[in-house]
C-alpha cells in the first residue's frame, strides 16, 4: 500500500469521525480548546504526524469537573433502562463508523487492521451487554430478625468515574468502563494515553452527537488530554469517586497510593506475564496457533500477550521446532495491509526496551532460538518495526520475571507432572491470564482448581490472549485485582446500600434495650 494511499485513507477516516484535518489542533470535546502544551500524535506505521491535540491545564480540568458534576445531577435521575437506550444509540453509531474508527486505531496505535476493527467490535459488544444489563441492576431482599420489618439492598451510582487508559487498546478499554458506568448512572472523565490521543477525540465526537440528539448534557462524557500530570489531577481529586486505571504495575502502584490516601475507590488493570503450559497430552497444532497468536498479536503489546511457554521436556524439541517453522511464515509490515501479521511497536522507546530485553536474556544465560532485530528500509521508515523473537530461558531470570511490551516469547522447560508446571507459571508477581494445552481431563481440572492457576483468567486449549465481553476481565496479585466488562463487574461502578423498613407501630431496639418514653 502506497504511503499516499494510507494518508488518503486516514484523512477520510478522520473526516468521517469529525476529527480535524491532519496536523491541526483539536479540542477536549467540551467546546473549548485546552490551554496546555501541544501533544503531537505520530503514527508508528510510517512515522508521519497525524495531528495535534491541546493538553488540559488545571483550569481546563476544573471546567471539565464542573460540567461533569452538573450533568450527574440529571443523569442519575434518568431510569436505568432509559440510560441503556442512550448506550444502544452509541453502539449503533459505532456500527456505522466501525471501518473508519478501526482504521484510525490501526494507524495511530499500529495494530493490524483486523485487530483495529475487532477492537471497535468489542465496543459494540459491550454496548449490547450494557443495554441488557440496564434492566438488571438488581439488589437482594433478605429476612429481618425483627417482626414487621423488611430488609433489602440496592445500588446507586457513584458519581464521577475517572478512566485512565493505555495506548495498546486506545478505544475498547474506555468503552468497557463507560458503557457500564453510564447505565449505572455515573458520568465519566477519560484521560487517554498521550500516545494515541486522536482515538479519544474520535470517540468523544461520536458520543457527543448521541447526547446532543437526545438533549442530554455533554458532561456525561468528558475527556482530558495530557501526560501523568493530568492523570494526577484525577487521582488526587476526591470529587472523582472511582479511578479505573489501565497500565503498568509501576503506574498502578502510584495511582493506588494516591487514591487510597483520600479513601477513594480504584479499579486497576495492570501488567501481565502470561504463560501457556504445554503438557505431553497437548495438541501440537493447537498449541502453536495459540502461542504464535498470543505472542505476536498486536506486536506483543497486549496485557494478555503470551510471554512464557512452559513445555514438558518430552515435548520440548517438537514444540520448539514447530514454533521456529511458524515464525518463518510471519509477515511484518504496514498493519493496514491485511496480508501482514505483525505491525510496529508504538514508538522508538518501545523498540529500545525490546532490544534491551533481548540483550538481557542472553546476558542471564539464555539463548535466542529466533533472533530478533529492528527492520529497516522501504516500508519500515518509522523505525518501529521489529522481528518477533523466541528465547530459551529460565523462569527465575530477571528479564523473564519482567513484562516487556514486545513480541518476545520465552521457552521454559519443565519435568514431572503438571504441578511443577503450575508452580513455574505462578512464580511471577503478575496474575492476569494463563492457559494450559492438554487433552488430559485430570490435568485440565487440576489447572483450574483452587491449587491451580493463580490468575484472574485461566483457559484450557485456547491461548492467553483475547477475552469475551460476557466474562469479567482482570487479574490478581500485582495485576491489580480489578474486574471490567462482563459478569457482575458493574457493581464496582455503584455504591451499595442496605435498607430496613419498619411497617409496625413499635420500634424494637438492638440487644433488647428499652426506653420508657
- As annotated, the active-site residues are 269, 303
- Report how far Cα 425 is from the mean position of its chain's Cα atoms: 22
3-state secondary structure of 105: helix
The secondary element (H helix, E strand) that includes residue 310 is strand 306-312
- Report how far Cα 188 is from the mean position of its chain's Cα atoms: 16
Task: State the Cα torsion 453-111-56-218 to the nearest 10°.
Answer: -90
Closest CA to 337 of 17, 3, 15, 94: 3
Report how far residue 48's alpha carbon sits from residue 3's, in angstroms, rounded to the nearest whole number. Answer: 10
> What one-character DSSP code corresponds to residue 302?
S
Residue 490 has a CB neighbour count (10 Å cut-off) of 24
Contact partners, residue 403, CB within 8 Å, separation at least 6: 248, 249, 271, 272, 273, 307, 430
Q: Within 13 A of 491's CA, how many CA atoms are on the CB side?
A: 11
Whose grid coordinates read 499500529?
110
Report how far residue 266's alpha carbon sits from residue 261's, in angstroms, rounded to the nearest whole number. Answer: 12
Whole-Å CA distances, 242 to 160, 224, 310, 496:
7, 16, 37, 14
Report how far residue 148's alpha carbon sits from residue 507's, in angstroms, rounded to the nearest whole number. Answer: 10
Report how far residue 406's alpha carbon sits from residue 302's, in angstroms, rounded to the nearest whole number. Answer: 9
Helix 98-109 and helix 113-133, axial crossing angle in degrees, nearest 10: 130
Whole-Å CA distances, 474 to 67, 193, 261, 482:
31, 20, 23, 5
Helix 172-183 and helix 80-96, axial crossing angle in degrees, nearest 10: 150
Closest CA to 13 of 2, 242, 5: 5
Report how far residue 333's alpha carbon sits from residue 276's, in angstroms, rounded to the nearest whole number. Answer: 27
Report how far residue 88's alpha carbon sits from residue 102's, in angstroms, rounded to the nearest whole number. Answer: 19
Amino acid at each position: 500500500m502506497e504511503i499516499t494511499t494510507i494518508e488518503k485513507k486516514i484523512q477520510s477516516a478522520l473526516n468521517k469521525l469529525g476529527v480535524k484535518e491532519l496536523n491541526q489542533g483539536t479540542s477536549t470535546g467540551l467546546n473549548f480548546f485546552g490551554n496546555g502544551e501541544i501533544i503531537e500524535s505520530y503514527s508508528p506505521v510510517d512515522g508521519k504526524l497525524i495531528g495535534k491535540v491541546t493538553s488540559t491545564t488545571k483550569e481546563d480540568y476544573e471546567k471539565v469537573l464542573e460540567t461533569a458534576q452538573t450533568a450527574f445531577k440529571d443523569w442519575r435521575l434518568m431510569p436505568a433502562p432509559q440510560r441503556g437506550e442512550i448506550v444502544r444509540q452509541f453502539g449503533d453509531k459505532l456500527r456505522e463508523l466501525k471501518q473508519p474508527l478501526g482504521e484510525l486505531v490501526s494507524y495511530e496505535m499500529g495494530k493490524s487492521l483486523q485487530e483495529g476493527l475487532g477492537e471497535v467490535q468489542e465496543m459494540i459488544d459491550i454496548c449490547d451487554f450494557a443495554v441488557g444489563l440496564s434492566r438488571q441492576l438488581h439488589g437482594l431482599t433478605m429476612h429481618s430478625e425483627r417482626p414487621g420489618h423488611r430488609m433489602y439492598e440496592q445500588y446507586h451510582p457513584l458519581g464521577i468515574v475517572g478512566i485512565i487508559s493505555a495506548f495498546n487498546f486506545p478505544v475498547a478499554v474506555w468503552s468497557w468502563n463507560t458503557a457500564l458506568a453510564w447505565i449505572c448512572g455515573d458520568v465519566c472523565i477519560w484521560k487517554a494515553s498521550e500516545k494515541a490521543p486522536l482515538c479519544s477525540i474520535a470517540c468523544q465526537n461520536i458520543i457527543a452527537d448521541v447526547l446532543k440528539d437526545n438533549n442530554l448534557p455533554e458532561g456525561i462524557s468528558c475527556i482530558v488530554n495530557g501526560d501523568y500530570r493530568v492523570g494526577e489531577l484525577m487521582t488526587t481529586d476526591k470529587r472523582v469517586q472511582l479511578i479505573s486505571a489501565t497500565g503498568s504495575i509501576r503506574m498502578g502502584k502510584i495511582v493506588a497510593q494516591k487514591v487510597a490516601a483520600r479513601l477513594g475507590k480504584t479499579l486497576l488493570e495492570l501488567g501481565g506475564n502470561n504463560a501457556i503450559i504445554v503438557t505431553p497430552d497437548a495438541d501440537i497444532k493447537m498449541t502453536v496457533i495459540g502461542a504464535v497468536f498470543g505472542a505476536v498479536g498486536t506486536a506483543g503489546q497486549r496485557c494478555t500477550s503470551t510471554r512464557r511457554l512452559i513445555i514438558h521436556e518430552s515435548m520440548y524439541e517438537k514444540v520448539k521446532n514447530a514454533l521456529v517453522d511458524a515464525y518463518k511464515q510471519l509477515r511484518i509490515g504496514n498493519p493496514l495491509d491485511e496480508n501482514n501479521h505483525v505491525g510496529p511497536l508504538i514508538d522508538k522507546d518501545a523498540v529500545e526496551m525490546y532490544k534491551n530485553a533481548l540483550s538481557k536474556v542472553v546476558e542471564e544465560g539464555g539463548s535466542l532460538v529466533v533472533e530478533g532485530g529492528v527492520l529497516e528500509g522501504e516500508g519500515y521508515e518509522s523505525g518501529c518495526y521489529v522481528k518477533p523473537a523466541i528465547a530459551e530461558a529460565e523462569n527465575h531470570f530477571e528479564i523473564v520475571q519482567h513484562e516487556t511490551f514486545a513480541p518476545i516469547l520465552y521457552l521454559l522447560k519443565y519435568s514431572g507432572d503438571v504441578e511443577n508446571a503450575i508452580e513455574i507459571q505462578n512464580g511471577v508477581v503478575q496474575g492476569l491470564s494463563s492457559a494450559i494445552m492438554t487433552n488430559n481431563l485430570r490435568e485440565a481440572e487440576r489447572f483450574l482448581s483452587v491449587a491451580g492457576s493463580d490468575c484472574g483468567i485461566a483457559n484450557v486449549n485456547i491461548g492467553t490472549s483475547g477475552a469475551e465481553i460476557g466474562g469479567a476481565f482482570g487479574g490478581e496479585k500485582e495485576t491489580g485485582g480489578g474486574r471490567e466488562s462482563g459478569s457482575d463487574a458493574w457493581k464496582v461502578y455503584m455504591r451499595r446500600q442496605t435498607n430496613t423498613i419498619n411497617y409496625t407501630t413499635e420500634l424494637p431496639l438492638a440487644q433488647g434495650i428499652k426506653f420508657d418514653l
